[in-house]
Amino acid sequence: MKRLLFIIITFFSISCQTGQQNEIAVEESPKGGLFIIGGGSRPSEMIDQLIKLSDLKNGYGYVLPMASADDSAYYYANKQFSEKGLSDLKDYTKGGTQLLDSIENAALIYMAGGDQRRLMEVLSAQERKAIYNAYEKGAVIAGTSAGAAVMSKKMITGDEKKHPEYHPTFRTIEKDNIIFDEGLGLLPDNIIIDQHFIYRSRYNRLLTAVLENPEHIGFGIDESTALYIHNDSATVIGEWQVVSFRNKNQESKSQNGLLGAKNIELNIYLPNEKFKLPQ
């Protein structure tokens, strides 16, 4: 009898521990969404979608214009929203002492274009955390151009180690050339974003990124186009396409400084197309 009782107690003890481990291992996905715009003009219908997805008519939002040194960055970022009768999109740089609490409860956080490195340098650790907290609570985090690039944890800067003179696209696919910085990390860690993609022919840059980081998937978003991500689903919104590169073998090789790989998966997603994010 004592032996039977010991077995029963041991069984329930192990079951409880397993349940606790499973509970700890499960992480809830953020309740919000990511509205990642490739730059260029923003079609009116795209702004309508952004307003609807963020439920901005029943909440408030912030524009973060700090990626640009231009004083008019907030005005142009907010212009289309104000034309649609929305006056609650505030300039983050004009915030008060309670700004961090306020931004955590925003319906929309919109990051304007400019230089992604500048934006990341300006944002403090507390501000980055507040943005992520807003995303977890249900806010839509949107960004265009530089504001799109910062969504990744591994952020493309646009600079090259071997060719320091700036060009809008890479002219080569070389080893140890691409320069990354740390972004906000709102996306899954294995996703890299590139912007102005088709219009500026940035294929070489994103190919370099996924060859140098074989476990990553690269998404190139064209101008006047957005990729909306919610949970594990993505939808193309706007006028043009989104391109993805995936190094299926998760390996690459180099020869005399040139990068190569086999079985690179290419996908071209059309407007309104919805798909699951690859794991």
For the chain, the structural domain boundaries read 29-276
Asked if 157 contacts 118 with a C-beta cutoff of 8 angstroms, the reply is no
Per-residue pLDDT, averaged over 259-264, amounts to 94
Residue 140: half-sphere exposure toward Cβ, Cα within 13 Å: 24
In angstroms, rounded to a whole number, what is the distance separating the alpha carbons of residues 120 and 146?
10
pLDDT at 111: 96
pLDDT at 85: 87
In angstroms, rounded to a whole number, what is the distance separating the alpha carbons of residues 88 and 68?
21
pLDDT digits (tens, 9 = 90+) for 123-174: 999 999 999 999 999 999 999 999 999 999 999 999 999 998 888 889 999 9
- Confidence grade of residue 37 (pLDDT, cut at 50, 70, 90): very high
pLDDT at 71: 84
Neighbours of 181 (CB within 10 A): 16
**Start-end of H helices in the chain:** 2-25, 44-54, 73-83, 99-104, 116-122, 125-137, 146-149, 203-212
Neighbours of 168 (CB within 10 A): 11
Q: What is the pTM of this model?
A: 0.87
What CATH code would you report for 29-276?
3.40.50.880
pLDDT digits (tens, 9 = 90+) for 59-78: 999 999 999 988 889 999 99
Kindly give, in sequence order, each residue whose CB lies less than 8 Å from that of residue 18, ignoring residues fewer than 6 positions away.
none
Asked if 4 contacts 199 with a C-beta cutoff of 8 angstroms, the reply is no
- Confidence grade of residue 102 (pLDDT, cut at 50, 70, 90): confident
Asked if 83 contacts 53 with a C-beta cutoff of 8 angstroms, the reply is no
pLDDT at 27: 54
pLDDT at 279: 74
Backbone angles phi, psi at 242, to 5 degrees: -120, 130
Using the predicted structure, report yes or no on whether residue 47 has a pLDDT greater than 70. Answer: yes
Segment (H or E) for 225: strand 225-230
Between 100 and 269, name the one with better pLDDT.
269
pLDDT digits (tens, 9 = 90+) for 178-212: 999 999 999 999 999 999 999 999 999 999 999 99
Kindly give, in sequence order, each residue whose CB lies less than 8 Å from that of residue 22, ignoring residues fewer than 6 positions away.
none
In angstroms, rounded to a whole number, what is the distance separating the alpha carbons of residues 117 and 192?
15
Using the predicted structure, report yes or no on whether residue 266 has a pLDDT greater than 90. Answer: yes
Backbone angles phi, psi at 4, to 5 degrees: -65, -45
Percent over 70 (pLDDT), the chain: 89
Asked if 112 contacts 63 with a C-beta cutoff of 8 angstroms, the reply is yes
* Residues paired with 226 in a beta bridge: 37, 237
Which pair of tokens denotes residue 10?
């041991």
Percent over 90 (pLDDT), the chain: 76
In angstroms, rounded to a whole number, what is the distance separating the alpha carbons of residues 15 and 13?
5
